Amino acid sequence: MANAFPGGGNYRKTGGEKRFVIVDAGMNDLIRPTLYEAYHHVWPVKPDAKNLNAERSRTFEIVGGETVDVVGPICESGDYLATGRDLPPTKRGDLLAVFTAGAYGFAMSSNYDNRPRVPEVLVDGSSYRIIRRRETLEDLVTAGTNVIGFVNAGRAQNIESEISPFERG
């Protein structure tokens, strides 16, 4: 079993000799590669069979593949999910899976740059299940609208009686 999240929207860019695959998942979704160079297997959800060697071996050969950096859409130098990875050819719109994101993936994720979190998918052989749905912009806005009191003419309202014991901490 593997816990994965999809990074879709695949765009491509070349800078000098480097090739980049840009996905909609970013460092806010999986900060581990940026923080301490954690390795996560990245692979197309539906690779074209003609690009894969039919013989199984310990060294997985990719026919016609390329070495790319898989990066996110946030304009930060640390916004990458994988660097120097050999992948089968991908095209715009292909979905990439980032494997072994696990519990740390979500626990360390954030809404940096006002970005909703990606969904999490549990993969077991050929079956999968979405175990955490994609956040929406409404989720981001709703989280900040539970305002219990307000400041009126420079004087704070007495809201102690309106706060539940759970909200007091």
Exposed, middle or buried by CB within 10 Å (0-12, 13-18, 19+), for 118? buried
Sheet order of strands, 11-15 included: 11-15, 18-22, 66-71, 80-87
Residue 36 clears pLDDT 50, i.e. is over it: yes
Assess if residue 15 is contained within a domain. yes
- Confirm if 63 and 53 have CB atoms less than 8 A apart: yes
| CATH assignment of the domain containing 124 | 2.40.37.10
Active site residues: 75
Assess if residue 148 is contained within a domain. no
Residues 6+ apart with CB under 8 A from 104: 32
**pLDDT the model gives residue 99:** 84
The band of 154, judged by pLDDT with boundaries at 50, 70 and 90, is: very low
Assess if residue 154 is contained within a domain. no
Residue 158 clears pLDDT 70, i.e. is over it: no
The band of 121, judged by pLDDT with boundaries at 50, 70 and 90, is: confident
Give 89-117 pLDDT, tens digit per residue.
888 888 888 888 877 888 899 999 989 98
Assess if residue 94 is contained within a domain. yes
Assess if residue 120 is contained within a domain. yes
The closest of 127, 126, 117 to 5, measured between CA atoms, is 117
Count of domains observed in the chain = 1
Q: What is the DSSP annotation of the chain?
A: -EEEEEE-S-EEEEETTEEEEE-S--TTT--HHHHH-----EEESS--GGGB-SS--SS--BTT-EEEEEE-SS-STT-EEEEEEEE----TT--EEEE--HHHHHHT---GGGPPPPPEEEEETTEEEEEEPPP-HHHHHHHT------EETTEE---GGGS-HHHH-
Identify the domain containing residue 35 by its residue range. 2-143
The band of 72, judged by pLDDT with boundaries at 50, 70 and 90, is: very high
Assess if residue 29 is contained within a domain. yes
Assess if residue 166 is contained within a domain. no
- Confirm if 100 and 2 have CB atoms less than 8 A apart: yes
Assess if residue 37 is contained within a domain. yes
